[in-house]
Amino acid sequence: MSEMRVGVAAVEITPRRGLPLMGNFRDDYLARGTHDPLTAKAIVFEDGRGTKAALLAIDVCMLDRRNVALIRDTIGRSTGVPPAHVLVHATHTHSAPAPHDRFLFGLDYRPYRAAAEAMLVKAASAVDLAERSAMKAQLSFGCASEDRLSFNRRLRRKDGTTQMNWEALAPGFDPEQIEGAWGPTDPQLGCLVIESAAGPVAAAVNFGLHPAILAGDNWLYSADFPGQLAAALARIQGDGFTTLFLNGCCANVNHVDYGDAQQGRGYGMIERVGYMLAAAAARAIRTRVALAGDVIAIARDTVMLERMPISPDEHDRCRRVLDDLQGQRLQGQVDGLPEAFFADLRLQMHAVQHERDGVEVMTIRVGDAAIVGLPGEMFCEFGLDLKRRSPATHTLVVELANDAVGYLPTRESFGQGGYEVTAGSTLYAPGTGEQLAAAAAAQLQRLF
């Protein structure tokens, strides 16, 4: 049985209204208010040798390496947890302030930078609070299956082309032209449970699903379904129960059932998804088994990646797109990103396309469980494969950990086309996702 010192804490980080929303590509991006609070939640582990590690999950869309460096530096100056032992995760809600300007095309981000950085510094304080609250605790692990909420969003048309499932929400969509989805989903929900003598007090819940139920037509801060999951699970488990959501590999997975477009979006849908995941988490907690071992160990590697090249002809076309936009108002959209955004990003990609990029892959061992952190939006297939291959008894695979490097599709999917494999959606050459997954698999072998 695993018994070590564990601390848990949650900090509300909802900022003032008026900061730009990361997932709202509209005229000014700016939030009009708050629907439900944004939080940062931390778990700090310490084994008998004094080795410490931390998980920090933050209700933002994505955090780049500069954001993570600020958070880790803050933690290093205020706690006894080594910055290199902190896995920083963005839950990927599309209804949170942008902590950087990557998706804010045409907006001067400078007036908002200080407020965004203050939000991240406040998020880092959750690790300090968790460390201060650490006490002897038992760790356990449970799993449940929930296969009614997740859908592979890359649809295979009868003519062999790819269509995104969110187009089912638009007029004119013909479901008869769809043969099925190109890829799988992962119905497994995993719970790493922290127990005091009185019973479970917190859990890290791992499930792969895009928190983009609230998209470009929402103007309010929201944690999306992870916030509803946490609230519902606290009602089931009891007041004071803390849920730290760790999103799984879900780059090609969302909540949209193309055969039932009535489900749609909105606050009612985030409640439905959150409640159903809370029920699954409660089942996982009821069937939990104790972790074995009490060792904490960390593996971190920098993986060098080849960038996706932009041809001279594409460079010139993108230049013309931006020139034609001069003086015009950029049109927003609910899903995806407009062509002008991609044109601007491809010009940036062209400027550095001959430079390799180093990104971080991280794995934390907690007893006989592993938490794998991957730096971008990984296709579902990678998470399924890593869990199958893992030598750990229990494995959580977490995307958007410690960086945000765009979509990381499978090599096979590049030949299928579609949104995620478009230059700008993905920044690296085909095979990059496999390269990062291989690095994580090697870390698991080293740690176990």
In tens, the pLDDT along 104-123 reads 877 889 999 999 999 999 99
Per-residue pLDDT at 175 exceeds 90: no
Give the range among 113-122, 317-326, 328-337, 339-348 with minimum mean pLDDT: 328-337
Question: What's the rounded mean pLDDT across residues 188-214?
Answer: 96
Statement: residue 212 has pLDDT above 60: yes
As a whole number, mean pLDDT of residues 1-13 equals 90
What distance lies between CA 50 and its chain's CA centroid? 30
* Per-residue pLDDT band at 26 (split at 50, 70, 90): low
Q: To the nearest whole number, what is the mean pLDDT of the chain?
A: 94
- pLDDT of 117: 97
> Which range (20-24, 162-166, 370-374, 414-418) has the least confidence?
20-24
**328 pLDDT more than 80:** no
Mean pLDDT of 32-48: 97
| pLDDT for residue 103 is more than 80 | no
The closest of 361, 351, 362, 360 to 307, measured between CA atoms, is 351
The 8-class DSSP code of residue 390 comes to -
Q: Is the pLDDT of residue 75 over 80?
A: yes
- Which band of pLDDT confidence, cut at 50, 70 and 90, is reported for residue 24? low
Predicted pLDDT of residue 298: 98
Residue 223 has pLDDT above 90, yes or no: yes
254-257 long-range contacts (CB < 8 A, ≥24 apart) are 254/150, 254/151, 254/153, 254/165, 254/166, 254/209, 254/210, 254/212, 255/149, 255/150, 255/151, 255/209, 255/210, 255/213, 255/225, 256/151, 256/153, 256/165, 256/166, 256/168, 256/169, 257/151, 257/165, 257/168
Assess whether pLDDT exceeds 90 at residue 1.
no
Dihedral pair phi/psi, residue 289, rounded to 5°: -125, 150
Give yes or no for residue 5 having a pLDDT over 70: yes
Q: What is the mean pLDDT of residues 254-281?
A: 91
**pLDDT-based confidence at residue 303 (cuts at 50, 70, 90):** very high
Start-to-end CA span in the chain (Å):
17
Number of H helices and E strands in the chain, helices first, is 8, 22
Mean pLDDT of 321-329: 75
Of 38, 116, 35, 53, give the one whose Cα is nearest residue 296.
53
Express as a percent the part of the chain with pLDDT over 90.
85
Tell me the mean pLDDT in the region 132-144: 97
Q: Note the pLDDT of residue 334.
A: 53
Mean pLDDT of 418-430: 95
With a cut of 60, say whether residue 327 has pLDDT above it: no
- Tell me the pTM: 0.95
